[in-house]
Every structure is written in C-alpha cells, then in structure tokens.
Structure 1
Amino acid sequence: MMLQVKIVPVTAFAQNCSILWDSESKEAVLIDAGGEAVKLKQEVEAMGLKVKALWLTHGHLDHAGAVGELAKLWQVPVIGPHKDDQFWLDMIQDVSKRYGFPIPQPVQVDTWLEGGEILELGQTKFEVRFAPGHTPGHVMFYSPEYHLLWTGDVLFKGSIGRTDFPRGNHQQLIDSIQRECFSLPDETQFISGHGPMSTIGHEKKFNPFVAGKAG
C-alpha cells in the first residue's frame, strides 16, 4: 500500500486541494475541496478513484467551496473542521456573493473534529491536530508514517496565516504553530493551503514570522 497525493489548485485564490489515495484499493479522500467541483470530479475520475470522505481544515470559502456539491454527488461524509468554524461555513454563500463567486451549496459537516482523533485511509493513519488562530476551529492532518502534514492556512513556506478575519487571533496562531507544527520532526514535509511545500525544519530556521521562536 502506498499513499499517493496529487495537489490541484482551485479558485482565484489558487487554493491547494489535495487528493489522497491508496494505490491498491484506489480509495481516496479530498482535503479542502475549495471550489471548481467539476475540475476535481474530473481529476478523481481520470485516476479511477473512489472517494470515501471530504476532510476540511477550516471553514473559509476557498477551502470549502466545492464540499457541499461533492458530498452530495459522491454521497460521502464531511469530516472536520472543529465546530468553532461553524459560523464560517454558515456564511459561505454570503461570502461568495461578496466576492462575486458562484454561490456554493451549503456544507453539512458530518463529524466535527477536536484534535487527537485518528483518521484512516487504507492502511495510513492521520492524526488530527487542533491549530486555532487563522480561524477558531482550524485543524491540521498529519501522517507520521509519511512525515507529511497538511497545514491549511496555519503555516506556509516563509509565511503564516492571516489573523485579521473575524475571530482570528495572532498570538493563538503563533502558539498553534509552535505546539502543533514545530513539535514534529524537522524533516516533516507540509502541504499548505496556498503556495509550495516546505519542511518544518526549514520554517523553524527561515520563516520570518516564527523562526528562532521554537520553544
């Protein structure tokens, strides 16, 4: 069994939607299906995958915009984020209107996450890590076996998440990064919500927002 990952940028915000699948069973999950449902559906079909669930790091439009439509289409559960992001998911249609985006279908979360849960895809286990700050209910997904972390909008290569949105909190974000990201091995690679991949070790050294603060 091999975990495979394909990153598909979607929407005007170039949000990284990750398609994860088990190479043997072809069972798949999508992390942050942020928009362009048709494009994501075509990617999944082209690879012959069977989607089992949609995982969400947080409730922002560019991460959750296609979730309602795809959950209906594939009849699969929506897992995550933490319930403190309910208000963002409730606003998703209004926010879309404001940006002039197509109005998405509402998102119904089947399982809220708190942090500490173990999610599975095939033989691969993922730890849920609660990392509020960018939004109050933000979670991340971590595979110890593959040294791979999905940070959503918590940590980026050379940057960190914005905290100027409703219920964002800069200090809380810094604390989350130190506790939930910088506690992982330096060689851990991470896929963030936008932009290129990086490693935890690189960000500890060079990220101007958090470098040298690992404690």
Structure 2
Amino acid sequence: MKYQIVPVTAFEQNCTVLWCDVTNKAAVVDPGGNLERITAVLNNEGLTLEKILLTHAHIDHAGGTAELAKAYSIPIEGPHIDDKFWIDALPQQSQMFGFPSVEVFTPNRWLEDGDTVTVGEQTLDVVHCPGHTPGHVIFHSKEAGLASVGDVLFHGGIGRTDFPKGDHATLIRSIKEKLWPLGSDVSFIPGHGPMSTFGEERRSNPFVAD
C-alpha cells in the first residue's frame, strides 16, 4: 500500500490518499477541504478514486466529503454512527470556524469495531476509538504496518476532549486498549503534525507513555 499525506484547511489537517499499488485504486481519508490539492495527487499518480474513508466528522476532517463524493460518484464509509450528530452539525461547524459552507451527508456505510474496509486489493481493519469524538474510528493495515488514526493520537500528544461528547478517560482507554495491542512497530498518520510509531509514543508521549 502506498500513501501521500495532503495537508488541508487552515487547521493543516492530514488528509491522506491511500492506494493499492497493484490496482492503483485509491481511497481518500478525511477530505476536510482544499479538494484541488487532493485531486492533484490522484491525477499525478494516475489513481482511480473508489471511496472516501472518515475517521470522524469534525469539519477539518469531513468538510469536503459531500463535494468529493458527488464529483467522483463514490461511496462514503465511516465513521461510527455515534458521530452522526457531528455530521448533522457540519453547517454550524463551518460557520463557527470560518470554513466554506458545506453539505450534510449520510455515509453509505457506518463502521463498527472489527469491520474491514478495502482499497483495491488491500484490506484495512476498523477499530472504534472513542474519546475525541464518540464515533471516531481508525484504519489499520496489518500488511503495511500503517494506521490512520485521525485525532486520537499525535506525536507527543493526544486528541482534545473538550468538544461535545468528548471524554478524556475514554480516549486514554482507547489508545492503551485499542492502539497499543496493534504493535509498537506500527507507523501512524495522525490528523495533524508529523508521523510517529506506537512504540515511540509508548516511550515518550507524556499523556500515554508506559
């Protein structure tokens, strides 16, 4: 599996284009906005976009979803249904944070803990990791040793829990009980900032170190 991180929105959110290097079929994870940057990667790499994957429904992660899905006639998979209230509130989120107006959407598939999603011939495991938002999920490729974790975990930090239905204790539990068992050698793409590994965060992250 190959990937390219595409920072989007004023929040510099790490949108990611993931693709199967056998079929060149791709998924876009968390298209928060600046769709021209995303489509440039698709075009430059000669990729066929087949779906959108969402970790959660905050505006900087989900704001461009409806527009991208319509433009390519592709399905939306994720997040967990407990984030539906955030999707319904996307217009209010856009006003609050000064984003362009966005459309509400309904995912073609809500995701549950233990589900899998495919990108071409690649399969990723879905892990429900609430705390930052109640419906937050992450996507893990065992084969690639790679996880897209949204705003659950950052290099040296963790997601905020002061938004509606956020919960600090739940987030810490998600990281320690859902992420760490995936393996210390797993590299992860966070929703913001540089990549890291679960092992590095277990050693040095002041919020969740062993």
The whole-number CA distance in structure 1 between the counterparts of 2:88 and 2:36 is 23
Q: Does 1:128 align with 2:123?
A: no
- What letter matches 2:138 in structure 1? M
Query: 1:64 — aligned with what?
Result: 62
Q: Deviations over 1:174-193 (max 9, x none)?
A: 00001111112111100010
Query: 1:110 — aligned with what?
Result: 108
- What letter matches 1:95 in structure 2? Q
Identity, % of aligned positions:
46
SS at match of 1:109: coil
The whole-number CA distance in structure 1 between the counterparts of 2:120 and 2:127 is 20
**TM-score in terms of structure 2 length:** 0.97
Q: Over aligned residue pairs, what C-alpha RMSD do you find?
A: 0.9
Q: Deviations over 1:156-212 (max 9, x none)?
A: 000000000000000000000011111121111000100000001100110000112
- What letter matches 1:130 in structure 2? H
Q: Which moved more, 1:102-111 or 1:140-149?
A: 102-111
Unaligned runs of 5+ in 2: none
Residues 142-157 of structure 1: matches in 2 within 5 Å? 142-157=140-155
- What letter matches 1:64 in structure 2? A
Query: 1:205 — aligned with what?
Result: 203
Unaligned runs of 5+ in 1: none
The whole-number CA distance in structure 1 between the counterparts of 2:114 and 2:186 is 18
The whole-number CA distance in structure 2 between the counterparts of 1:73 and 1:123 is 23
Note the C-alpha offset of 1:98.
1.6
Q: Deviations over 1:67-121 (max 9, x none)?
A: 1000000000000000000000111111111222110122221100111011112
Query: 2:185 — aligned with what?
Result: 187
Is the Cα–Cα contact under 8 Å of residues 22 and 121 in structure 2 kept in the other structure?
no
The whole-number CA distance in structure 1 between the counterparts of 2:72 and 2:104 is 15
Q: Deviations over 1:143-166 (max 9, x none)?
A: 011111111000000000000000
Query: 2:86 — aligned with what?
Result: 88
The whole-number CA distance in structure 2 between the counterparts of 1:27 and 1:184 is 25
**TM-score in terms of structure 1 length:** 0.95
Query: 2:73 — aligned with what?
Result: 75
Q: Which moved more, 1:106-115 or 1:9-18?
A: 106-115
- What letter matches 1:202 in structure 2? E
- What letter matches 1:15 in structure 2? Q
